[in-house]
Chain A
Amino acid sequence: MDDNMIIDLYWARSESAINETALKYGNYCLKIAINILQNQEDSDECVNDTYLRAWNAIPPQRPTIFPSFLGKITRNLSLNKYRKQRTKKRGGYEVALLLDELEDCIPSGRSVEAEYEAGVIAKTIDSFLYSIDAESRIVFVRRYWYVDSIRSIAARFQMNESKVKSMLFRTRNKLKIYLEKEGMTI
């Protein structure tokens, strides 16, 4: 079913909206959750919560890119769950690896964390991502948004793992420089 039609179903408060969303994007959301949580049961729970959040948000919202809208919800829910579980030392080792890598991107500068209006840093990251080549951008997003493993990215784009690692390393360094140039602190 076309995305607009699914969103129409939400607007019409038809419960078919959730069935159709699950059919079309269930696997998509599940993959994101599993990447983060590495646990089927917890991931299923996050995906089901995603549908509920979508149901509550539409209307009034009318997402322009429906899968990205859903994916953002799943990613947030999964990361929140990961953070709660981390204290119990359960799952999510890929996120731990990824957080280490992201150290490379933290701009140096003032030690006191600056307060930015919500979304300002994200928009600067957008601007950075639009400024780099498509290949580097996509690999970066697969790693740090979708939380794909290095091996999975290498397989997806038929590269070897060392190429993926070096590409990510370069992009992280570029992002750090970009954020510094834009006066961002995190």
Chain B
Amino acid sequence: MKTEKLLDEIGQIDDCIIAEAHTTTLKLKSTRRTWYRWVSVAAACIVIAVIAVVIPKQSDDFPELPMLTISEDTGGYGFEGYMAHDISELQNGNPWSEADTIKSLPVFQNPTSYDSVGRAIKGLSADEMIQKARDTASAMGLSIDSISVRPTEEELQREQEKIRSVPGNEDYEPNATPSSVEAVCGDVTIEIEANGYVRVVFENGVQLPDEYSFTYYDTSEQQAKDVMQYLLEQYEPIVAMESPALDLFGDYNIYAQRSFSYNAYENSGGLTERILGYNFNRVSFSPDDDGVLWIIDRYSVDLSQKLGDYPIITAQKARELLLQKRYITTVPEELPDEEYIASVELIYRTSRHDEVFMPYYRFLVEIPTMQMDNGLKIFGAFYVPAVEEQYLSNM
């Protein structure tokens, strides 16, 4: 009985410890030896990013570039995999293609950092967020009923009580730095985060004209394109892009329903600018179950802290590194044989866990051991840094 009770008590341990044991896996491998890295509780839960700069490295074409450290902290749980009958169904709007020959791409410092409970503590000030909320409301022709800065006193108090109740944290003081602002405009709420993200929530939804289908599961690709054109025009003051391009992405769930994510990005300028637009300057529209517009998310990342233009390896070279098992992944399986590599694209990893925004090649690889009974395949994501190895301190 005592061991049963102990087993139950262990079941109630801290969520962060449970998450840590889940996210810590064999992640990065070198050709010389296999190694793994333990992600600390802080990294799994609090998400302190590794990173950045260290020793200047020189070459003729790229003088004095800071060394970069690859962040292995994926921050998420579960693994990154997409379901589809065929890889062709997983196309997206990425302006990069394998035929492009890019010699270099910029790398940026993430201007925002986050505290132990995931709140942004560096970025826009409270005044700047309030101004941005007012500008957004004004652009939408809304008047603000109330505006509040978060975390509120009540939220801080609750957080303090919760964390202090864990032995060893009796002196915990929550960080009161403003992390977001919420403006209520009737049944519309505008949220501004310190990282500059804007979210507009229509509490009662916005009914679209009858000719448009805007749902999670019952909208075809053409219907998705049509409704996106309508939404981009209708919400142009929030979208505020010179040349928006669609980024529709539709994968399947376990019930074989295909759901689209309705995104667009700034597609003006040369290829590098378009790649940056695709990764850092985006807008997303989300429906609710009734097919009405529920949420608009507008991401426009501050890229003012550029570390430099770094030389980039080719997709072919990245493929070689992938096959040498020099990748980062959350897929809980070994990389299958080369024949299962289904696609490659060049992307920036832009999560809040990345202290540096740098480019990677993302390979989608069919995982043959995970094929579903209904014929759907699972394609797992494997990342290989695109920056040349000599600028990476832990490659």
Query: Contact at A68–B15, with CB atoms within 8 Å?
Result: yes
Of B3-11, B136-144, B233-241, B379-387, the stretch lying at the interface with chain A is B3-11
Query: Contact at A135–B22, with CB atoms within 8 Å?
Result: no
Query: Would you list which residues of chain B between 1 and 48 have a CB under 8 Å from chain A?
Result: 2-22, 24-26, 34, 36, 38, 40-41, 45
Residues of A contacting B: mostly:
helix
User: Does A121 sit within 8 A of B, measured CB to CB?
Assistant: yes
On chain B, the residues within 8 Å of A14 by CB distance are 288-289
On chain A, the residues within 8 Å of B209 by CB distance are none
With the chains together, A144 CA to B13 CA distance in Å? 11
On chain B, the residues within 8 Å of A25 by CB distance are 77-78
With the chains together, A1 CA to B255 CA distance in Å? 16
User: Does A87 sit within 8 A of B, measured CB to CB?
Assistant: no
Pick the contact of A141 from B8, B17, B36, B166 — CB < 8 Å? B17
User: Does B257 sit within 8 A of A, measured CB to CB?
Assistant: yes
Interface centre among B20, B76, B77 (most CB of A within 10 A): B77
Query: Contact at A65–B289, with CB atoms within 8 Å?
Result: no
With the chains together, A19 CA to B215 CA distance in Å? 14
Please judge, given known A-B contacts A28-B22, A67-B19, whether A145 and B253 are in contact too, CB under 8 Å. no
Please judge, given known A-B contacts A16-B289, A134-B38, whether A23 and B9 are in contact too, CB under 8 Å. no
User: Does B117 sit within 8 A of A, measured CB to CB?
Assistant: yes
User: Does B270 sit within 8 A of A, measured CB to CB?
Assistant: no
**Residue of chain B at shortest CB distance from A129:** B17
Please judge, given known A-B contacts A102-B3, A158-B34, A186-B6, whether A145 and B20 are in contact too, CB under 8 Å. no
**Residue of chain A at shortest CB distance from B201:** A8
Size class of the A contact interface (CB-based, 8 Å): 35 or more
On chain B, the residues within 8 Å of A8 by CB distance are 295
Query: Contact at B12–A119, with CB atoms within 8 Å?
Result: yes
User: Does B96 sit within 8 A of A, measured CB to CB?
Assistant: no
Least Cβ distance of B388 to chain A in Å?
Answer: 29
With the chains together, A12 CA to B20 CA distance in Å? 29
Query: Contact at B166–A158, with CB atoms within 8 Å?
Result: no
With the chains together, A162 CA to B295 CA distance in Å? 53
Query: Contact at B167–A124, with CB atoms within 8 Å?
Result: yes
User: Does B165 sit within 8 A of A, measured CB to CB?
Assistant: yes
Please judge, given known A-B contacts A14-B288, A129-B17, whether A158 and B26 are in contact too, CB under 8 Å. yes
Please judge, given known A-B contacts A119-B12, A122-B9, A145-B11, whether A68 and B19 are in contact too, CB under 8 Å. yes
Query: Contact at B257–A138, with CB atoms within 8 Å?
Result: no
Interchain Cβ contacts under 8 Å between A and B, 19 examples: A12-B289, A12-B294, A14-B288, A19-B255, A20-B253, A28-B78, A69-B15, A72-B18, A75-B11, A99-B4, A123-B166, A125-B10, A126-B17, A130-B41, A137-B20, A137-B41, A144-B7, A145-B13, A156-B26
Where the two chains meet, the residues of A that have a C-beta atom closer than 8 Å to any C-beta of B are: 3, 5, 8, 12, 14-16, 19-20, 22-28, 63-69, 71-72, 75-76, 79, 83, 95, 98-100, 102-103, 105-106, 113, 119, 121-127, 129-131, 134-135, 137-138, 141-142, 144-146, 156-158, 186
Where the two chains meet, the residues of B that have a C-beta atom closer than 8 Å to any C-beta of A are: 2-22, 24-26, 34, 36, 38, 40-41, 45, 76-78, 83, 117-118, 165-168, 216, 253-255, 257, 286, 288-289, 294-295
